[in-house]
């Protein structure tokens, strides 16, 4: 069973080996390859598919579609043309864009958002304050250049390394680190100007995602 295996880190040489084996028709390698990228795809889709769009398509459903699309497109993938993580990212970004386009055509009555999981540790007031803060920071993130927004999602929310993010976005790891530093610096400045409490390093994933 795939779930019992130790999945290699996405973007590693082990993933490249899995890709080669999957392209050669190894079904077990394909299953393990998808098991490796699926958690990353889920995190990315949850960050990109906003609460208001979930009536059109759930983030986890979009992630499932991405993985199915990766399987379908894999025979056409050629190593050397683009890193595999970049290949997966391109499919994910395209699927999310489809959801955004579809949502623009749908007129529906807003309904209360059902949280993915209950957090019994916080009072309703604390949850409301955190949600409001996240919404304000989300608006600040939207003012950043698109590439910086994607870098923050991949690095902070999805948890990719600078090297993995670089592979996905087809840029250097150094450029990723510089862009992330600038983006977080800009957000901290905006928070200060707005009189918001600073966000520590571990808290960015929650407010950006």
Q: Are residues 69 and 149 in the same domain?
A: no
With b for 16 or more beta-carbon neighbours within 10 A and e for fewer, the 186-197 pattern comes to: bbeebbeeeebe
Instruction: Assess if residue 114 is contained within a domain.
Output: no
- Name the domain boundary from 53, 74, 105: 105
Q: Are residues 136 and 99 in the same domain?
A: no
Q: Give the domain CATH number at 21.
A: 1.10.1740.10
Among candidates 98, 40, 95, which has minimal Cα distance to 68? 95
Q: Give the domain CATH number at 135.
A: 1.10.10.10
Quote the mean pLDDT of the chain.
78
Q: Which residue has the higher pLDDT, 185 or 134?
A: 185
- Name the domain boundary from 105, 140, 160: 105
pLDDT at 197 over 60: yes
pLDDT for 57: 64
Write out the residue range of the structural domain in which residue 27 sits: 2-105
| Count of domains observed in the chain | 2
Instruction: Assess if residue 43 is contained within a domain.
Output: yes
pLDDT for 203: 53
pTM (global) more than 0.75: no
CB 187 within 8 A of CB 140: yes
Summarize the confidence of residues 185-205 as an average pLDDT.
73
Q: Which residue has the higher pLDDT, 56 or 44?
A: 44
pLDDT for 181: 93
Instruction: Assess if residue 160 is contained within a domain.
Output: yes
pLDDT for 10: 62
- Name the domain boundary from 73, 105, 137: 105
pLDDT for 180: 94
């Amino acid at each position: 069973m795939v779930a019992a295996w130790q999945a290699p880190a996405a973007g590693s040489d082990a993933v490249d080996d899995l890709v080669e084996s999957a392209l050669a028709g190894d079904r077990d390698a394909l299953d393990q390859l998808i098991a490796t990228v699926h958690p990353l795809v889920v995190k990315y889709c949850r960050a990109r598919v906003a609460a208001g769009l979930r009536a059109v398509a759930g983030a986890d459903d979009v992630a499932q579609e991405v993985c199915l699309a990766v399987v379908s497109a894999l025979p056409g993938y050629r190593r050397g043309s683009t890193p595999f993580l970049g290949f997966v990212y391109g499919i994910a970004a395209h699927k999310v864009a489809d959801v955004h386009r579809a949502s623009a055509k749908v007129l529906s009555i807003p309904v209360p958002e059902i949280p993915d999981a209950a957090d019994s540790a916080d009072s309703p007031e604390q949850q409301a304050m955190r949600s409001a803060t996240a919404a304000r920071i989300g608006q600040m993130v939207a003012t950043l250049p698109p590439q910086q927004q994607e870098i923050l999602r991949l690095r902070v929310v999805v948890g990719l390394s600078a090297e993995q993010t670089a592979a996905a976005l087809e840029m250097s790891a150094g450029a990723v680190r510089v862009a992330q530093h600038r983006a977080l610096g800009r957000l901290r400045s905006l928070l200060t100007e707005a009189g918001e409490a600073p966000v520590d390093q571990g808290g960015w994933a929650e407010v950006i995602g």
